[in-house]
């Protein structure tokens, strides 16, 4: 992947590693949500998790969605400039500037920005030992230097974050569904 060039903020972003989910391996157990919320808050609730699993039950598709460190950096829409891109390429939140307006939450095209107790939640890779990757029982999750995916195609997605996650995952699931229709089975 090439380094990400921001459109309106000047300077090049450093490439930031992201959590990738292999949709073929995700079984929808939500252990990533459990460990993410437990790691950061010492408590369990998906509302506290920075990674969320979209479970499209009627078509058998599951996929965890976390910040993809997208090319567009849509969340930087922040009206009080509480959000910036940090030195490592991460999304950095200046808590004292945040007014809890949730515009960043709404702006993310794939619903990957959480919100809990008046603050948005961004994946911080657990300061190095990424808990969701470590505990994923199927190794569907990996921590890779592949940030910079363009989410332009999803920018016009309607709806709330959960609906956006579902819409994003439905598109990601098309090749897998096609392979099933063509006779692909779990061991074939």
Partner 1 sequence: MTICRGRCLRVDLTTQEIATTSTPDDGIGGRSWNSLTLLRELAPGIDPLGPENILCLSVGPLTGSELIGSCRFIASAKSPLTGYLGDSGARGFFAPELRWAGVDQIVFTGAAERWVYLLIDDGTVELRDASHLVGRDITETTTDLRRELHDPDLQVAAIGPAGEHLVRYAIISCNLARAAGRTGMGAVMGSKRLKAIAVRGSQPVKPADPDRFRRACTELEAAIEGHPEFESRRLYGTTRIMDSLAAMGVLPAYHFRSANFDEVEKVNGRALRRDHVVKPKSCYNCNIYCSRYNVTEYNEGEGPEYEAQAGFTVKCGNADLELAVGVSNTVNRLGLDCISTAEVIAWLMECRHEGLIADADVDGIDLGWGSREALLRLPEMIARREGIGNLLADGSRRAAEVFGPEAERLTAEVKGLELFSADPRGIKGYGLMNAVNSRGGDHYRAEPSIELTGDEVLAIRRVGNPDAAHALKEEGKGALVNYAEHLGILSDSLTICKNISCCMDVVDFDLAAVAYSGLLGKDVSPGQLWEVCTEVGQAERDFNLREGLRPDEDTLPRRFVDAPIPDGPAAGTTIDITRLVSDYYREKGWREPPPGEN
Residues binding partner 1 (CB under 8 A) = 24, 27-31, 34, 37-38, 41-48, 52, 54-60, 62, 116, 137-138, 159-160, 162-163, 165-166, 180-181, 184-187
**Nearest-approach distance from CB 149 to partner 1, in angstroms:** 22
Closer CB to partner 1, residue 79 or residue 175?
Answer: 175
Instruction: Classify the C-alpha dihedral 181-183-186-188 as positive or negative.
Output: negative
Task: Give me the count of residues in the chain.
Answer: 188
* Cα–Cα distance for residue pair 179/151, rounded to 1 Å: 24
Beta bridge partner(s), residue 53: 64
**Nearest-approach distance from CB 5 to partner 1, in angstroms:** 33
**Nearest-approach distance from CB 47 to partner 1, in angstroms:** 3
Closer CB to partner 1, residue 53 or residue 78?
Answer: 53
**Nearest-approach distance from CB 166 to partner 1, in angstroms:** 4
Residue 106: closest CA among 63, 162, 50, 153 = 162
Closer CB to partner 1, residue 95 or residue 185?
Answer: 185
Closer CB to partner 1, residue 35 or residue 69?
Answer: 35
**Nearest-approach distance from CB 152 to partner 1, in angstroms:** 23
For residues 36 and 50, the answer to whether their CB atoms sit within 8 Å is: yes
For residues 148 and 4, the answer to whether their CB atoms sit within 8 Å is: yes
First-residue to last-residue Cα distance in the chain: 31
Other CB atoms within 10 Å distance of the CB of residue 96: 7
Closer CB to partner 1, residue 4 or residue 112?
Answer: 112
């Amino acid at each position: 992947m090439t380094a990400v060039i921001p459109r309106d903020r000047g300077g090049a972003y450093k490439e930031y590693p992201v959590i990738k989910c292999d949709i073929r391996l995700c079984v929808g157990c939500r252990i990533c949500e459990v460990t993410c919320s437990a790691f950061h808050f010492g408590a369990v609730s998906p509302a506290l998790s920075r990674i969320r699993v979209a479970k499209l039950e009627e078509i058998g598709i599951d996929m965890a969605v976390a910040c993809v460190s997208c090319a567009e950096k849509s969340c930087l829409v922040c009206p009080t400039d509480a959000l910036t891109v940090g030195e490592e390429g991460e999304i950095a939140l200046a808590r004292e500037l945040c007014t809890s307006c949730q515009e960043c939450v709404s702006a993310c095209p794939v619903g990957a920005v959480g919100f809990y107790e008046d603050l948005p939640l961004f994946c911080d890779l657990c300061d190095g030992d990424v808990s969701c990757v470590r505990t994923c029982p199927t190794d569907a999750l990996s921590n890779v230097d592949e940030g910079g995916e363009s989410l332009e195609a999803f920018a016009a997605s309607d709806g709330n974050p959960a609906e956006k996650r579902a819409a994003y995952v439905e598109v990601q699931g098309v090749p897998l569904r096609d392979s099933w229709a063509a006779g692909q089975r779990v061991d074939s």
